[in-house]
Amino acid sequence: MLRKIKLFLSLIFVASVLTVNAQDKPLSLWYTKPAEKWTDALPLGNGRLGAMVFGGVEKERIQFNEETLWTGEPRDYTRPGAAKYLDTIRQLIFAGKQKEAEQLAGEKFMGMRSDEGNRDAWIKTVTSTKLPAGDPAAPGFNDASWKTMPVPSYEGWEAAGFEGLDGAIWMRRTINLPADWQNKEAVLDLNRVRDLDYTYVNGKLIGTTNSTDPRKYNIPADVLRAGRNTIAVLVLNFFDKGGIAGYKDTTRHIGIYTKETGEKAKLSLNGNWKYYVVNDDPPPVPRYQADYQPFGDLWLEFSHKPDEGTYRRSLNISNAEAVTSYTSNGVAYTRKYLVSQPDQAMFIQLETNSPGQLNFTASLSSPHKLSSVKTKDGHTLSLSLKVKNGALKGEALLYVELKGGTVQIKDNKIEVKNADEAVLSLVAATNYKNFKDVSGNPVASTNAQLNAIKAKKFEQVREAHVKEYQKYFDTFSILFQGSSREDLPTDERLAKFSSGGDPSFAALYLQYGRYLLISSSRPGTRPANLQGIWNDLLAPPWGSKYTTNINAEMNYWPAELLNLSPMHQPLFDMIGELSQTGKQTAKAHYNSPGWVLHHNTDLWRGTAPINASNHGIWVTGAAWLCQHLWEHYQFSQDVFFLRNKAYPIMKEAALFFNSFLIKDPVSGYLISTPSNSPEQGGLVAGPTMDHQLIRDLFSNVISASEILNVDKAFHDTLKIKYTQIAPNKIGKYGQLQEWLQDKDDTSNKHRHVSHLWGVHPGSEINWVQTPELMNAARQSLIYRGDEATGWSLGWKINLWARFKDGDHSFKLLQMLLSPVKGGAGSYLNLFDAHPPFQIDGNFGGAAGIGEMLLQSHTGFIDLLPALPLALFNGEVNGIRARGGFELKMKWKNGKLQQVELRSTAGKTCKLRYGGKEISFPTEAGGIYRFDGNLEKK
């Protein structure tokens, strides 16, 4: 009887939780099972601290980050003397000697890498290291004590559970061969090994390679024997992906075969291999830029399982809180997770509906080799770490407060027994102060952070968290009406979205993009990087840096349009820092005034060319970032911001291009060179994208100069040069040319559509002023095709919206919001898949939906300019337009019903809808209402 009463009460408890969740369904991601992979987990963040919540029952993982934990250190990225090679590089390009120009630039013009360790000495040491048990290459070597790892792993042994492993590792495998193999020549096919291998068969060295070339080693006839044979490989991995990688096509196995039978009779060597780590401290690898790093993991362990059908995990994006709930043996368990900005900590509240039923252990770990966990006091654990090959160190504290029950710390684990409720608080910090200063004290910082929150109750913390978050999130609302699948878990909605019938999922996706921007880019923090603030890898894809030839900028496309202007501030702060380091690069590499930024930067604000000359020398990153400063002014009409923040930086960028532009010897136009059209075509003269960006910068500086009534002489110089820059051109296929020459390939399906920048996010190509160019740009996009990586789909969604083809734009949104199946799409937590995960697609997709509903880049506010059939009924409140306007709109059956406009700056407003245009003066703070025919109400 008692059990029945407990079960009844637990069901009431769970039902109340589900009722709250049901009310929040349109603004919730929810699932009926825990996360299995990192890209299933749910993201939380306050701009500085990020967390990924897996929602496990018996074992819960919360992977967490701190935004300033990166590799590297403050240093000068520029190459002294690079500028003296600039003219030669230009002359080689003008002479049609692209390869020679790229070779010279690669040797003399790229930025400086970090210091390199003594690799030769290390290789000599590890290859001569003797193991106590003897020679690992020998057939009779006893490897019984060695552990095993799955082989091959194309993405490196890191993807097989060995994250962070670099160094010298012996790997062994035995194989039984038939008698007729004896005295026959054979081939050992390992395909790719990362990085250097010494490969032995039955103790004989049969090959060594130090490259990414396929390993197909000949085995002499006298080496193999009938029965047991031993293959031993000493793998030397210096950085990032390591081990026997095999084939990207996993249907192809590594293996061994005789030359007589060929590959068709290959014996597979896929499976578990024995391994032994000889040395896991290889010398530093020289790097152009630094990598964003994970911090650690918080683990919770329970000794119960959920009752069938009771599990649920969710992320409510209206209050930035995750919840995991289930019953076990009739007892209801609930965990609430949040990352608070006011209190600068992550909090987890654990509770049950039955007193004394809460039992668990909590522990900390880190993937960093140089890390340790210690007991600080009877309620607190500390995690200390230092980044390998870098100047940064970090400290995290985990504190537990109980209601009822007992707590003790044993073996550096917090053990909670028979509690009614527990609240875990986690704080973290590094020694980073700014891009030039690493003198901070993370121990003192975390102690102060924890002391400030110890006395606070969870509800007090939660109330402050929600209030602070919602002042940003609640500035905008959106509703797409029609049939929906809100009662389905998010993973099922994702799987069905491309088949139509769920318009509210598009609204959820837009709001999720806003949630992610708030969570990864609060005022006072660093800007969102390639993965926001969420990363679990020591060697993340592309370093999880700031790629400034599209990706970093795309992160901020929703900021102004979707009413998150304060989230733009971290980007503006970074631009200010880059304008400092960029001056050094402009001088060292181009002997020019002003500042320059190439296609990537990092925490230390590197601005020099990186990686390779065929794509790393791209000069217009500063021009693109300056567009964000101007856009903020356009939307806000904040003259104080323009005068004191934006214009000085924009002017310095324009000073660089005023010096950098050079006359093309053929056409006579001013052009940009050396540069490239990201990220294809190599080092060239006059890529279209550069000219669009430079014209945009010059135009904005000219306008700002007039508004502020300053720098008339420079203003006049830019006006003249603006007209001399090589114009956009239409090529022989009716396409917008990507380069100065008409050499576009209509079969080119490259993910970058760089030459369409002037359509979006630029505006010089539009239907009002340049319809011919608009048609040519549209033709270019048709040639390029719809298929793309995730972020590229995000860009194309915006482009098709600018072309006013809402149905095509929505089609690409459906492609973006499709489950990942080897290509682009979205992971189960709706993170964008390049693949792998990049957050820019989330932001590009969210902004693209906004562009379908409102555009204001031509001087008019266009209402519903690209409304797709799938979104024919809806309303939006809080969408913003250039000129200092905020709008509320409602439409039905694809027709505007009413619009309300609030003026924040008192400027003249021009509205356009359905072929009708109206213009009227406004007052700051004034509200103006119109019906669907733009008649004043």
Q: Where are the domains of the chain?
A: 2-66+293-465, 84-111+539-727, 119-279, 728-826
**527 vs 545: CA distance, rounded Å:** 11
CB 918 within 8 A of CB 860: no
**Whole-number Cα distances in Å, 213 to 125, 249, 257, 607:** 25, 16, 19, 32
DSSP 837: B
Q: How far apart are the first and last CA of the chain?
A: 65
Instruction: Give domain 2-66+293-465's CATH number out of 3.40.50.300, 3.40.50.1820, 3.40.50.2020, 2.70.98.50.
Output: 2.70.98.50
- Dig out the tokens for 906 from the structure: 């008192």
pLDDT reported for residue 26: 63
Angle between helices 840-853 and 806-816 (to 10 degrees): 160
- Dig out the tokens for 928 from the structure: 């103006």
Residues with pLDDT less than 50, the chain:
1-24
CB 769 within 8 A of CB 780: no
pLDDT reported for residue 852: 98
pLDDT reported for residue 691: 98
pLDDT reported for residue 15: 36
**901 vs 936: CA distance, rounded Å:** 11
**327 vs 335: CA distance, rounded Å:** 12
Which strand (E) or helix (H) includes residue 587? helix 569-590
Q: Which CATH architecture has domain 84-111+539-727?
A: Alpha/alpha barrel (1.50)
**837 vs 828: CA distance, rounded Å:** 11
CB 380 within 8 A of CB 397: yes
pLDDT reported for residue 769: 96
Q: 364-386 pLDDT, tens per residue?
A: 999 999 999 999 999 999 999 99
- pTM for the full predicted model: 0.94
DSSP 131: B
pLDDT reported for residue 9: 38
**788 vs 382: CA distance, rounded Å:** 44
Q: Which CATH architecture has domain 119-279?
A: Sandwich (2.60)
**Cβ–Cβ contacts within 10 Å for residue 384, how many?**
18
DSSP 70: B
- Dig out the tokens for 187 from the structure: 């081939």
**324 vs 319: CA distance, rounded Å:** 15
What Rg value do the Cα atoms of the chain yield, rounded?
A: 30
Amino acid letter, residue 8:
F
SS (H, E, C) 895-911: EEEEEEEEECCCCCEEE
Spell out the residues 6+ positions from residue 350 whose beta carbon is closer than 8 angstroms to its own: 300, 333, 334, 335, 358, 360, 421, 422, 423, 424
**Cβ–Cβ contacts within 10 Å for residue 266, how many?**
17
CB 924 within 8 A of CB 901: no
Beta strand ranges found along 247-379 (DSSP E): 255-258, 267-268, 271-279, 296-301, 312-316, 321-328, 331-340, 345-352, 358-365, 370-377
pLDDT reported for residue 12: 37
Spatial CA neighbour of 363 closest among 298, 307, 288, 266: 298
